[in-house]
Amino acid sequence: MGFFFKTKEEEFEILFSWADAFDIPDHIFPRKMSTLNEISKLNLSRLEISDIPKEFKNLTKLIDLNVSGNLLEKLPSSFTELTKLRKLNLSDNEFEIFPQEVFELHSLETFYFDENYIQAIPKEIEKISNLHELYLHGNEISELPIELFNLTLLEKLYLDDNEIKDLPTEIRQLKNLKKLNVSENQIRLIPTEIKELSKLEEFNISHNKLDTVPEEMGKLSNLQILDISHNDIIDLPMRIRELENLTELHIHKTLIKKIDISR
């Protein structure tokens, strides 16, 4: 039995038909092969797209792809061939599990996967080792795998509005982290290892179940914004005054009545 291989022209015709089916405007998704073949940035957000065809692999020069606000539940296996992707936005879709294809995008630096329906982060997340920004807020995640903290280049990590109960001590490995948002979860304890995030500038852990703040927080010398509001915290440690760069401290809706932040 012989195999039937489509020409590149035929695969692009399939892409054009796909774009027509979802009424994607020509100025967004050009119907000219020579133009589409060279495109590096593509915004297909909020177009009610429910699938991405395998022929998408032909867009090999894509660096920035936004398909947020659609109806996607999965990615084609050929998505792994988009090896130049540095920024991918899959937020606000219908994903219930992490698309395994993303783990093969080794050039990826920024990944938006917020506002979906995932309950777990696979350990394979560590394969996207070049990630600098990761947005997973607004999902149903209850546990953080230790492999997540092997992403040591991370500078921004958003895990807010999930069902996370614990911050693993392995968080200490994120030495380059500048912004961390774990608000609106069920966290009861800030691990003392948080002190090792020496580059941390913004930390939001509001709307959780904290009753204490570890004294080690006083070692976060670059911290500028700290939000511990909407927790059952009674007092702040004395070393809070050592946060010399702190410009915003949010403590409303806590049990703190008086603090001394003299420096």
Per-residue pLDDT tens over the stretch 71-103: 999 999 999 999 999 999 999 999 999 999 999
pTM for the full predicted model: 0.95
DSSP assignment string, 223-252: --EEE--SS------GGGGG-TT--EEE-T
Is pLDDT at 69 greater than 80 in this prediction?
A: yes
Range of the domain at 201: 119-263
Residue given tokens 């004395």 in the structure block: 238
Q: Is residue 64 part of a domain?
A: no
What average pLDDT score do residues 116-140 get? 98
Is pLDDT at 1 greater than 70 in this prediction?
A: no
Per-residue pLDDT tens over the stretch 244-263: 999 999 999 999 886 665 55
Long-range residue pairs from 233-240, CB within 8 A, at least 24 positions apart, any chain: 235/259, 237/213, 239/215, 240/213
pLDDT of 242 reads 73
What average pLDDT score do residues 219-248 get? 92
Report yes or no: 84 and 62 within 8 Å, Cβ to Cβ: yes
Report yes or no: 180 and 200 within 8 Å, Cβ to Cβ: yes
Per-residue pLDDT tens over the stretch 15-51: 999 999 999 999 999 999 999 999 999 999 999 999 9
- Bridge partners (DSSP) of residue 41 are 64
What average pLDDT score do residues 126-131 get? 98
Long-range residue pairs from 181-187, CB within 8 A, at least 24 positions apart, any chain: 181/137, 181/157, 182/208, 183/207, 183/208, 183/227, 184/160, 184/208, 185/159, 185/160, 185/161
Q: Is residue 14 part of a domain?
A: no
pLDDT of 3 reads 53
Total domains, the chain: 1
Q: Is residue 174 part of a domain?
A: yes
Q: Is residue 17 part of a domain?
A: no
Q: Is residue 249 part of a domain?
A: yes
Q: Is residue 260 part of a domain?
A: yes
Q: Is residue 144 part of a domain?
A: yes
Across the chain, mean pLDDT equals 95
DSSP assignment string, 88-108: EE--SS--SS--GGGGG-TT-
Q: Is residue 160 part of a domain?
A: yes
Q: Give the CATH number, domain containing residue 177.
A: 3.80.10.10
Residues 6+ apart with CB under 8 A from 105: 80, 82, 83, 85, 88, 128
